[in-house]
């Protein structure tokens, strides 16, 4: 009996030694991540504004995703990086008109089986009624870890999600630009707080690592890469465009997906911790798909990336068939006659002085607000409206963004500083007739976005571009002949974006704090700006020449010489 027990103990003691085999490292796993960003309503294969087929839409993303998922060997993830709910009239139709059914954006993105998305500032601009609705209708996590519910002090949107593919766990951390309070009325983001992106990323990476031990971490950031844009500094808290800063300064990200600035990029960096981080931005309006091939290995993760032009992909016929009735319904709604245009409009004229296009915007603002002065700006370049019938879809050409109308109280001196700030953004200091009139970069783009080049109506003034910045504007009188007084307080109409500090005209130019801006508000419109535009055109029925030449650029002969050259550099149409 003792011999049997001794043999058994020897056997059990030695068994592990006999059974042990050399440990084999697991094979690397490659996961493909495809991402859209700043789609701005181009979800269907129809351009509702220009009433023609659209070369870029989520129909072509569907083609790509269907092909990738058909390959059993491919682990595939589909993401979106925000700003999808505004930009095409189909979105406004489902945001404001057809609200008793599943939102078209949820229908499309659910059908494409998106795995996650981040919230953009233009998604917040739709207001609680819209994004609260979509939070429940999306069949995927909608992320924004730095948007905090002020009641619960917890993230209002989901901060991150974990996606598993072929036994590997990928963490997707979503963060959005914290600039919303500087651009949008509080009513659109009531009860929310927007926290710093870098601080949020640092906290969430640590939380994800501690709780979930992911094999890879992807940042899905609705934020640009130029941290100095708009005069900000890299060291500023609440930097609006902190994506690249996070990639550099926060340890742990394998991939950082950027957005917001509409600039397609595709490269890798070595961060401050000697780690490779892949940076991708697919641009905007469904023109490109960002594609990352992320290889996860015990020896270290690696990624390659590319931009896929959707122009070169076909539509998905199954997708098009499913959404054809929706296209027909929205086209019918947008075909309603509003009025008649007797003179053609070209927004590019606004770069070189007073023009009919921008004076229409001024007239609408003064009509609905009863203000003394109006401030307005071109929403985009190369936008035209031909003579003839004006339909509902044309309003989206004339006024691109979903602003509301604000009226603020400003002194004459503050009006002057507002315009000086705009002129600094706008004009080069000319030393000779051969110089450029406009501030244009080496890449032949405007130095400032067109929507920050504000002009005024209700006053008569000149801008002398031979003078240095800050000393170019001379206001002579009100347009009705009354004297203009620097010390008098005037009612000034402008967009909600501008009135809340967007572009810096009132904050950096005039020097008003956010608290002071709130005190200056005289009135706000309940209706969207395009509704105000529609009412005005319906009342007028026919729009003729509207320019009153209340302001001009000096010296006039220099402007004429520079205009053609600047227009050529900017490829104005």
Q: Taking the model in full, what pTM does it have?
A: 0.91
Distances (CA, A) of 427 to 69, 177, 211, 346, 375: 51, 29, 53, 20, 17
Q: At CA 28, angle to CA 24 and CA 33, rounded to 5? A: 160
Which pLDDT belongs to residue 230?
Answer: 84
Question: Tell me, what's the pLDDT at 338?
Answer: 97
Predicted confidence (pLDDT) at residue 187 exceeds the cutoff of 80: yes
Its sign, for the CA torsion 509, 511, 514, 519, is: negative
The pLDDT assigned to 90 comes to 98
- Model confidence at 211: pLDDT above 70: yes
Domains of the chain as residue ranges with CATH: 29-328 (3.60.21.10), 337-570 (3.90.780.10)
Assess whether pLDDT exceeds 60 at residue 544: yes
pLDDT in tens, 98-116: 999 999 999 999 999 999 9
pLDDT in tens, 365-400: 999 999 999 999 999 999 999 999 999 999 999 999
The band of 18, judged by pLDDT with boundaries at 50, 70 and 90, is very low
Do the beta carbons of residue 65 and residue 59 sit within 8 Å? no
Percent of the chain as helix, strand, coil, to the nearest 5: 35, 25, 40
C-alpha distances in angstroms, 335 versus 308, 332, 521?
A: 34, 5, 36
Tell me, what's the pLDDT at 32? Answer: 98
What confidence score (pLDDT) does residue 74 get? 87
381: its two tokens: 């370049």
The pLDDT score that the predictor gives to residue 101 is 97
Percent of the residues in the chain that have a pLDDT greater than 90, as a whole number: 93
Q: Strand pairing of 192-194 and 288-296?
A: unpaired
Please identify which residue in the block is written with the tokens 């409206």.
385
Mean pLDDT, rounded, for 88-100: 97
**C-beta separation of 47 from 292 below 8 A:** no
Eight-state DSSP code of residue 299? T
The string of DSSP codes covering 152-220 is T-SBSSB-EEEEEETTEEEEEEEEE-TTHHHHS-GGGSTTEEE--HHHHHHHHHHHHHHHH--SEEEEE
pLDDT in tens, 232-289: 999 999 999 999 999 999 999 999 999 999 999 999 999 999 999 999 999 999 999 9
Rounded to an integer, what distance in angstroms lies between the CA atom of residue 10 and that of residue 2? 12
- Count Cα neighbours of 527 within 13 Å in the Cβ-side half-sphere: 12
Q: Could you give the residue ranges of the DSSP H alpha helices within 221-345?
A: 243-249, 317-334
Taking only the tens place, the pLDDT of each residue in 427-441 is: 999 999 999 999 999
| pLDDT (tens digit per residue) in 171-180 | 999 999 999 9
Which token pair is 561? 């010489």
Cα gap 77→215, rounded to integer Å = 15
Rg (CA), the chain: 28
Q: Provide the pairing of β-strand 29-36 with 255-257.
A: unpaired
Whether 225 has a pLDDT exceeding 70, the answer reads yes
Query: Looking at the predicted structure, is the pLDDT value of residue 11 above 80?
Result: no
Residues 6+ apart with CB under 8 A from 271: 247, 248, 249, 251, 253, 277
Instruction: Show Cβ contacts of residue 506 under 8 Å, excluding neighbours closer than 6 positions.
Output: 408, 418, 498, 499, 512, 517
pLDDT at 72: 81
DSSP state string for 481-535: SPBP-TTSEEEEEEEHHHHTTGGGIIIIIS---HHHHHHHEEEE-SS-HHHHHHH
């Amino acid at each position: 009996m003792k011999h049997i027990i001794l043999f058994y103990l020897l056997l059990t003691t030695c068994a592990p030694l006999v059974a042990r085999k050399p440990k084999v490292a697991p094979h690397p796993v490659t996961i493909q991540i495809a991402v859209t960003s700043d789609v701005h309503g181009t979800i269907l294969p129809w351009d509702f504004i220009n009433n023609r087929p659209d070369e870029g839409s989520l129909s072509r993303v569907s083609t790509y995703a269907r092909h990738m998922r058909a390959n059993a060997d491919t682990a595939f993830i589909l993401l979106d990086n925000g700003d999808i709910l505004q930009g095409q009239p189909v979105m406004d139709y489902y945001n404001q008109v057809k609200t008793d059914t599943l939102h078209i954006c949820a229908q499309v993105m659910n059908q494409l089986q998106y795995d996650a998305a981040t919230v953009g500032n233009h998604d917040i601009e739709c207001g609680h009624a819209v994004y609260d609705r979509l939070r429940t209708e999306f069949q995927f996590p909608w992320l924004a870890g730095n948007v905090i519910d002020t009641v619960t002090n917890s993230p209002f949107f989901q901060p991150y999600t974990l996606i598993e593919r072929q036994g590997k766990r990928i963490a997707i951390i979503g963060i959005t630009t914290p600039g919303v309070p500087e651009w949008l009325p509080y009513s659109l983001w009531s009860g929310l707080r927007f926290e710093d992106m870098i601080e949020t990323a640092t906290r969430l990476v640590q939380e994800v690592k501690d709780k979930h031990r992911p094999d890879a971490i992807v940042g899905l950031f609705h934020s640009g890469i130029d941290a100095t844009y708009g005069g900000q500094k890299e060291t500023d808290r609440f930097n609006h465009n902190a994506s690249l800063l996070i990639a550099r300064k926060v340890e742990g990200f394998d991939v950082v997906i950027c957005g917001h600035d509409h600039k397609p990029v595709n490269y890798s960096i070595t961060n401050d911790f000697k780690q490779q981080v892949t940076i991708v931005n697919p641009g905007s309006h469904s023109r490109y798909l960002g594609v990352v091939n992320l290889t996860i290995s015990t020896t270290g993760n690696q990624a390659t990336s590319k931009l896929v032009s959707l122009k070169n992909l076909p539509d998905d016929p199954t997708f098009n068939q499913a959404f054809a009735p929706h296209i027909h319904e929205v086209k019918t709604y947008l075909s309603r006659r509003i009025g008649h245009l007797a003179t053609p409009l070209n927004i590019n004229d606004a770069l070189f002085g007073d023009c009919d296009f921008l004076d229409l915007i001024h007239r609408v603002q003064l009509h609905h607000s009863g203000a003394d002065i109006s401030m307005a700006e071109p929403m985009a370049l190369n936008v035209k409206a031909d003579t003839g019938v004006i339909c509902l879809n044309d309003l989206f050409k004339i006024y691109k963004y979903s602003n509301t109308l604000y009226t603020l109280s400003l002194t004459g001196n503050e009006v002057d500083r507002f315009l000086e700030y705009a002129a600094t953004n706008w004009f080069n200091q000319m030393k000779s007739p051969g110089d450029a009139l406009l501030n244009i970069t080496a890449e032949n783009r405007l130095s400032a976005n067109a929507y920050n080049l504000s002009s005024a109506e209700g006053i008569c003034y000149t801008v002398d571009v031979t003078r240095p910045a800050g000393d170019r504007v001379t206001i002579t009188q009100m347009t009705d002949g009354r004297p203009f007084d620097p010390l008098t307080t005037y009612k000034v109409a402008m967009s909600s974006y501008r009135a809340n500090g967007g572009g810096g005209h009132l904050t950096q130019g005039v020097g008003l704090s956010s608290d002071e801006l709130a005190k200056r508000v005289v009135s706000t419109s309940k209706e969207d700006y395009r509704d105000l535009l529609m009412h005005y055109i319906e009342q007028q029925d026919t729009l003729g020449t509207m320019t009153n030449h209340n302001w001009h650029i000096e010296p006039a002969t220099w402007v004429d010489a520079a205009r053609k050259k600047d227009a050529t550099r900017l490829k104005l149409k």
